[in-house]
Amino acid sequence: MLVDLARNDLLKVCTPDSVAVTEFMNVERYSHIMHLVSTVEGTLSEDVSAVDVVRATFPAGTLSGAPKPMALSIIHELEPINRGLFGGVVGYFDFSGNADLAIAIRTVLIRNGKGYVQAGAGIVLDSVPESENDETISKASAPLRAIAMANSMRKL
């Protein structure tokens, strides 16, 4: 479903025949989690800028859910605070119209001497609340460990 959402988002800014899933549900392993990774690619339509692509694809369906308009409405209703940077975009646009961007997850925001970490889980019909909570804690653990390591280095 989320791959379909990504494909539909890209169809807003790409030539229709060019949008394709080039990688589907490959497992990537990291120190504390595993991800299912899919890649959707397309050729931008004429006169489409990198900013247009961001507008068409963010917030990403992987962090909002599907169908996107309904999911965003539910998030707005149920989440007590704004997500801020979490789930947004980090990267750069160059003067040639190119961009290199990433979804801001597994990040730490430092404000007024305090570090903030956000994490979440994908809730679906057959989700088990305890498992989703465990997943969220696991996802938050890497940036929390980084903060702990940075603090221990300051004491040396």
Mean pLDDT (10-residue bins), the chain, 156 residues: 93 97 95 86 97 94 90 92 90 95 90 89 88 91 88 78
Query: How far is the CA of 130 from the CAs of 28, 62, 121, 133, 135, in angstroms?
Result: 23, 20, 11, 5, 9
Q: Are strands 99-103 and 108-111 parallel, antiparallel or unpaired?
A: unpaired
The answer on 100 and 60 residing in a single domain is yes
pLDDT for position 156: 63
The answer on 88 and 121 residing in a single domain is no
The answer on 101 and 114 residing in a single domain is no
pLDDT for position 154: 77
Q: Which domain, by its residues, includes 79?
A: 1-105
The answer on 69 and 82 residing in a single domain is yes
The answer on 110 and 75 residing in a single domain is no
The answer on 156 and 93 residing in a single domain is no
The answer on 100 and 117 residing in a single domain is no
The answer on 125 and 56 residing in a single domain is no
Query: Where do the DSSP E strands lie in the chain?
Result: 20-29, 34-41, 89-93, 99-103, 108-111, 114-117
The answer on 111 and 43 residing in a single domain is no
pLDDT for position 123: 82
pLDDT for position 40: 97
The answer on 98 and 24 residing in a single domain is yes
User: How many structural domains compose the chain?
Assistant: 2
The answer on 111 and 100 residing in a single domain is no
